[in-house]
């Protein structure tokens, strides 16, 4: 199957897994569950599920064992978007071309949607029998997700980002923010399927980490460049939202040219980490190339 | 040891466990970690840890195996208070006689404090080796906590409470809100130590559920009565906060007299569930009697 079709298939798998794992909108309390589905099911690239399925393909793990992980990752990502968009944080009213959750519902509901979603991700990891892992490995999955999203991960990165707002920031700090805020969860998406193998294979975990480290940073660079250069009609969010929020992104700090060079180096590093596996890592490498394309200069 | 001293000892155990499990305030990002400690370490009754230790004592489980559970429960409770106090939700500026987290820091930080705390609770359950459980049981612990705090638990109850605000509510619905919003996590505090026994014993899990069901509702009734009847100087939060937020509490709906009668019945039901264990459940029964005392009528 050509990669682009495989990506489409995995995206559909992720949507089906989310559909299965999220409570029906008719579940009591209805308004909360309707808002939860609005926040999660409203499109999106499903990048974290795609990375998890791609990692599983590389490792020879059957995709049905990854459905729960894919759903949990996307749910944590969705909760973080709902909270980041809130008036007290990024104050974004538009995401993927639709009103953000707190605009479509209200701020209180959006806060509770995020809170409930986070709990739901762990409920999935604790409930999913299709993982087929020894219980020891389930513990590692919970830890991977919690570490990637807590105060030493995503939430910590968002806090650092806020603190840095309107301040002079050096590139090292901006890179650290990138890594925590976005990189750690992308890394978890690549690492978690490794837990499903009793024998993770020679050098697999190390290669996964090396790949994910480069990929995570590179992905945030692409996102920053998009914010600087693309109009809202293309990106689905208001142009210059980061600048409006006085955020000094790594791309803005380096300048577009240097950011593009750094991006190229990170992309090569990510691909290089997978080199020993040749065609076996083909889809993961393709995903990396495809999702790390910088926007055409405006 | 007399119960009141035992309670003091367990409260100190819980504080020590939290101290150990929470990142130091000097951990990067410092402001977030300082706010996290402000939210968790600022006093409080430590009721959920106390219930967990009391349940362990009843079950013959060593308290050191419950430290991680006690910390995780209190951390989830603390996160829920931080988010519930936010301007978009209850808009409370005072808790336990101190400024709430969003007042002492800012709204964005308070949102992230809650988010990071929730992840941290699962990190503890996944990391704690002192639990000494088979890995199968760790899965049950994660599920207990996630189910009690998600959209079919605490967050769901909070959403129902908001929906009901300013509306006519019947007692059944008010009771359902109580149960989800407060009862489920109190139930988890009693049930989680049961997971630490490979043989939970004849009727223990059922008795724990029956006890917790009655206790959880009764506790919210006491809290409602406190809100109606006590001045801020005693309760540590502004009097009539629920009424100001146009919340129809179960106690308000029943009226103080009927609420007191219902409370008495629930307290008897909770005690009755533990009757077969006699002195072995003595501390849990004492905790129930002590914490379910209604305020003296103003």
Higher pLDDT, A228 or A6: A6
* A72-81, A191-200, B206-215: the lowest-pLDDT one: A191-200
pLDDT in tens, A27-46: 989 999 999 999 999 888 99
Domain segments of chain A as ranges? 3-291
* A187-201, B31-45, B101-115: the lowest-pLDDT one: A187-201
Query: Does residue A132 have a cis peptide bond before it, meaning omega lies within 30 degrees of 0?
Result: no
| Tokens describing residue B79 | 């996160």
**Cross-chain residue pair B116–A151, CB shorter than 8 Å:** yes
**Cross-chain residue pair B32–A112, CB shorter than 8 Å:** no
List all residues of chain A from 89 to 118 with a beta carbon under 8 Å from chain B: 89, 106-109, 111-112, 114-116, 118
Percent of chain A whose predicted confidence (pLDDT) is above 70 = 92
Mutate to test the interface with B, among A26, A28, A29, A77 (most CBs of B within 10 A): A29
Residue listed under structure tokens 């009391």: B54
**Cross-chain residue pair B111–A119, CB shorter than 8 Å:** no
Give the pLDDT confidence score for residue A238 in this predicted structure: 60
pLDDT in tens, B21-30: 999 999 989 9
| Residues whose CB is less than 8 angstroms from the CB of residue B255 and which lie 6 or more positions away in sequence, other chains included | none
**Cross-chain residue pair A152–B122, CB shorter than 8 Å:** no
| Structure confidence at residue A56 as a pLDDT band (50, 70, 90) | very high
Q: What is the pTM of this model?
A: 0.94
Give the pLDDT confidence score for residue A9 in this predicted structure: 97
Which of A197, A89, A179 lies closest to A140, judged by CA? A197
**CA-CA distance, A122 to A150, in Å (whole number)?**
13
| Structure confidence at residue A246 as a pLDDT band (50, 70, 90) | low
Q: Is B81 on the interface with A (CB under 8 A)?
A: no
**Cross-chain residue pair A150–B36, CB shorter than 8 Å:** no
Give the pLDDT confidence score for residue A52 in this predicted structure: 98
| Structure confidence at residue A199 as a pLDDT band (50, 70, 90) | confident
Give the pLDDT confidence score for residue B196 in this predicted structure: 93
| Structure confidence at residue A239 as a pLDDT band (50, 70, 90) | low
List all residues of chain A from 188 to 217 with a beta carbon under 8 Å from chain B: none
Q: Please list the residues that pair with B94 across neighbouring strands.
A: B99
**Cross-chain residue pair B123–A147, CB shorter than 8 Å:** yes
| Structure confidence at residue B239 as a pLDDT band (50, 70, 90) | low
Q: How distant is the Cα of A97 from the closest Cα of chain B, in angstroms?
A: 24
The answer to whether residues B272 and B290 touch, using CB atoms and an 8 Å cutoff, is no
Which of A7, A39, A5 lies closest to A23, judged by CA? A39
Nearest to B115 among A32, A145, A155 (CB): A155
Nearest to B159 among A29, A119, A146 (CB): A29
| Structure confidence at residue A293 as a pLDDT band (50, 70, 90) | confident
Q: How distant is the Cα of B40 from the closest Cα of chain A, in angstroms?
A: 14
Average pLDDT over residues A220-244: 70
Residue B240 has pLDDT above 80, yes or no: no
**Cross-chain residue pair A111–B112, CB shorter than 8 Å:** no
The end-to-end CA distance of chain A, in Å, is 34
| Structure confidence at residue B210 as a pLDDT band (50, 70, 90) | very high
Q: Please list the residues that pair with B99 across neighbouring strands.
A: B94
The answer to whether residues A221 and A266 touch, using CB atoms and an 8 Å cutoff, is yes
Percent of chain A whose predicted confidence (pLDDT) is above 90 = 72
| Residues whose CB is less than 8 angstroms from the CB of residue A118 and which lie 6 or more positions away in sequence, other chains included | A75, A76, A79, A149, B115, B118, B119
Higher pLDDT, A231 or A213: A213
| Residues whose CB is less than 8 angstroms from the CB of residue B257 and which lie 6 or more positions away in sequence, other chains included | none
pLDDT in tens, B269-289: 999 999 999 999 999 999 999
* A221-230, A252-261, B79-88: the lowest-pLDDT one: A221-230
Query: 3-state DSSP call for residue B169?
Result: coil
Give the pLDDT confidence score for residue B252 in this predicted structure: 85
**Cross-chain residue pair B32–A151, CB shorter than 8 Å:** yes
* A126-140, B142-156, B217-231: the lowest-pLDDT one: B217-231
**Cross-chain residue pair B151–A89, CB shorter than 8 Å:** no
**Cross-chain residue pair B142–A134, CB shorter than 8 Å:** no
Percent of chain B whose predicted confidence (pLDDT) is above 70 = 92
- Cα angle A129, A133, A136 (rounded to 5 degrees) comes to 115
Contacts of B162 in chain A (CB under 8 A): 108-109, 112
The neighbour count for residue B174, using CB atoms within 10 Å, is 23
Nearest to A89 among B32, B108, B160 (CB): B108
Q: How distant is the Cα of A192 from the closest Cα of chain B, in angstroms?
A: 14
Contacts of A123 in chain B (CB under 8 A): 142-143, 146-147, 150
Higher pLDDT, B198 or B186: B186
Give the pLDDT confidence score for residue A235 in this predicted structure: 56
pLDDT in tens, A64-91: 999 999 999 999 999 999 999 999 999 9
| Structure confidence at residue A236 as a pLDDT band (50, 70, 90) | low
Length reported for chain B: 298
**Cross-chain residue pair A111–B111, CB shorter than 8 Å:** yes
Q: How distant is the Cα of A264 from the closest Cα of chain B, in angstroms?
A: 29
| Tokens describing residue B260 | 């007191």
Give the pLDDT confidence score for residue A227 in this predicted structure: 79
Residue A112 has pLDDT above 70, yes or no: yes
Q: Is A24 on the interface with B (CB under 8 A)?
A: no
**Residue A273 CA: distances (Å) to CA of A90, A258, A277:** 34, 23, 9
Which of A72, A198, A83, A166 lies closest to A124, judged by CA? A72
Residue listed under structure tokens 């009771």: B175
| Structure confidence at residue A147 as a pLDDT band (50, 70, 90) | very high
| Tokens describing residue A76 | 């944590």
Q: What is the rounded average pLDDT for all residues in chain A?
A: 91
* Complex ipTM: 0.94
Q: Give the β-pairing of A98-99 and A94-95.
A: antiparallel
Residue A135 has, within 13 A of its CA and on its CB side, a CA count of 12
Q: What is the rounded average pLDDT for all residues in chain B?
A: 91
Q: Is B37 on the interface with A (CB under 8 A)?
A: no
- Cα angle B29, B39, B130 (rounded to 5 degrees) comes to 85
**CA-CA distance, A266 to A242, in Å (whole number)?**
22
**Cross-chain residue pair B140–A126, CB shorter than 8 Å:** yes
Average pLDDT over residues B133-158: 94
Q: In the CATH hierarchy, which top-level class contains the domain B3-291? A: mainly alpha
**Cross-chain residue pair A155–B23, CB shorter than 8 Å:** no
**CA-CA distance, A99 to A101, in Å (whole number)?**
6
Average pLDDT over residues A205-232: 87
């Amino acid at each position: 199957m050509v990669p682009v079709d495989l990506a489409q298939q995995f995206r559909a798998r992720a949507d089906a897994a989310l559909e299965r794992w999220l409570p029906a909108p008719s579940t009591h309390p209805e308004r909360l569950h309707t808002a939860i589905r609005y926040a999660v099911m409203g499109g999106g690239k499903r990048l974290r599920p795609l990375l998890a399925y791609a990692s599983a393909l590389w490792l020879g793990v059957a995709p049905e064992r990854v459905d729960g992980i894919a759903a949990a990752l996307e749910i944590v990502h969705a909760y973080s978007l709902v909270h980041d968009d809130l008036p007290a944080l990024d104050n974004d009213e538009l995401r993927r071309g639709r009103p953000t959750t707190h605009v479509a519902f209200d701020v209180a509901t959006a806060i509770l949607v995020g809170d409930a979603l986070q709990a739901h991700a762990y409920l999935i990891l604790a409930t999913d029998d299709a993982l087929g892992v020894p219980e020891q490995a389930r513990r590692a999955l919970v830890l991977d997700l919690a570490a990637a999203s807590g105060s030493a991960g995503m939430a910590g990165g968002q806090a650092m980002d806020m603190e840095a707002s309107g301040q002079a920031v050096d590139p090292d700090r901006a890179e650290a923010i990138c890594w925590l805020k976005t990189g750690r969860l992308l890394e978890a998406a690549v690492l978690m399927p490794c837990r499903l193998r009793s024998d993770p294979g020679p050098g697999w975990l190390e290669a996964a980490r090396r790949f994910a480290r480069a990929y995570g940073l590179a992905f945030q660079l692409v996102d920053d460049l998009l914010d600087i250069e693309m109009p809202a009609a293309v990106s689905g969010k208001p142009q210059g939202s980061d600048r409006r929020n006085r955020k000094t992104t790594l791309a803005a700090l380096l300048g577009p040219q240097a950011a593009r060079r750094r991006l190229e180096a990170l992309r090569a590093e990510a691909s290089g980490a997978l080199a020993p596996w040749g065609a076996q890592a083909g889809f993961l490498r393709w995903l990396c190339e495809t999702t790390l394309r910088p926007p055409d200069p405006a």
